């Protein structure tokens, strides 16, 4: 089964190949994405994060999911020396840089709890895969050329891991560098990270992109992560261990 819906302002695609999968299973997981959007969207005035930013919900009254995400944000801020920071210039909290990976990982957990082994969750190009694809082979994930999104420049086989890409070529300069006070990077246009799961890949990809030239070296030094970077001149760099995620 395969279906795509527009949620959280992006296409969300679910693929489940197990024979016992039904429409109700997909509906349940899609409903989870909708619930995440309703809770964390900075664009919905009645979302929990907007109510927190207006001072309507004290810390002790936050939902368990909100507390989990905010704790992950603080942990990542410390691990990245402040490059991951959900405090916007206006002082409001915007955890969107964490939420997508968190939502995808929760979707994958839901499928596993349903007893499925072969599935693929893609939200806005960030991916968690499990098991095998329709051909009985490892799932393959393409890295798009940021200068020509119709072209795939590299193919990865995450083998149960997660893949996340941060960049400016689709959404513009939307990643904030808290150390310089500006959005985006003058040097890097795309940074793809492979991690043990999509949440790990996503949270570090956001921070590493904000680092600019230093980002790929940060990924190189971080255990369990590999990366592929494309700069403004079209030059690609990859970490030394990325080869194990490339097709044979």
Q: Which parts of the chain register pLDDT below 50?
A: 169-174
- Residue 111: helix, strand or coil by DSSP? helix
- CATH (residue range 2-130+138-245): 3.10.520.10
Q: How many whole angstroms separate alpha carbon 126 and alpha carbon 156?
A: 13
pLDDT at residue 59, as a whole number = 87
pLDDT at residue 176, as a whole number = 55
Pairing assessment for the beta strands 176-177 and 182-183 based on DSSP bridges: antiparallel
pLDDT at residue 168, as a whole number = 54
Integer-rounded Cα Rg, in Å, for the chain is 18
Find the angle CA(133)-CA(134)-CA(139) to the nearest 5 degrees: 20
pTM of this structure: 0.92
Of 226, 163, 215, which Cα lies nearest the Cα of 185? 215
Structure tokens at 77: 């801020």
Q: How many whole angstroms separate alpha carbon 7 and alpha carbon 24?
A: 18
pLDDT at residue 175, as a whole number = 54
């Amino acid at each position: 089964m395969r279906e795509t819906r527009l949620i959280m302002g992006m296409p969300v695609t679910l693929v489940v190949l197990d024979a016992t999968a039904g429409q109700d299973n997909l509906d349940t997981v899609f409903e989870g994405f909708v619930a995440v959007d309703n809770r964390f969207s900075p664009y919905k005035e009645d979302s929990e994060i907007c109510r927190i930013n207006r001072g309507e919900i004290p810390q002790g009254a936050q939902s368990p999911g909100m507390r989990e995400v905010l704790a992950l944000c603080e942990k990542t801020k410390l691990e990245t020396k402040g490059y991951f920071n959900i405090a916007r210039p206006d002082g409001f909290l915007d955890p969107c840089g964490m939420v997508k990976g968190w939502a995808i990982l929760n979707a994958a957990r839901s499928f596993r709890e349903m007893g499925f082994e072969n599935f693929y969750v893609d939200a806005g190009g960030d991916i968690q895969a499990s098991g095998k694809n329709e051909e009985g082979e490892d799932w393959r994930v393409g890295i798009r050329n940021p200068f020509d999104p119709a072209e795939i420049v590299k193919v990865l086989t995450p083998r149960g891991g997660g893949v996340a890409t941060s960049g400016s070529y689709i959404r513009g300069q939307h990643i904030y560098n808290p150390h310089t006070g500006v959005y985006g990077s003058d040097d890097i246009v795309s940074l793809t990270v492979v991690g043990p799961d999509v949440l790990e890949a996503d949270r570090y990809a956001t921070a590493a992109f904000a680092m600019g030239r230093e980002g790929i070296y940060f990924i190189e030094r971080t255990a369990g992560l590999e990366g592929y970077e494309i700069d403004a001149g079209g030059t690609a760099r990859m970490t030394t261990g990325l080869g194990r995620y490339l097709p044979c």
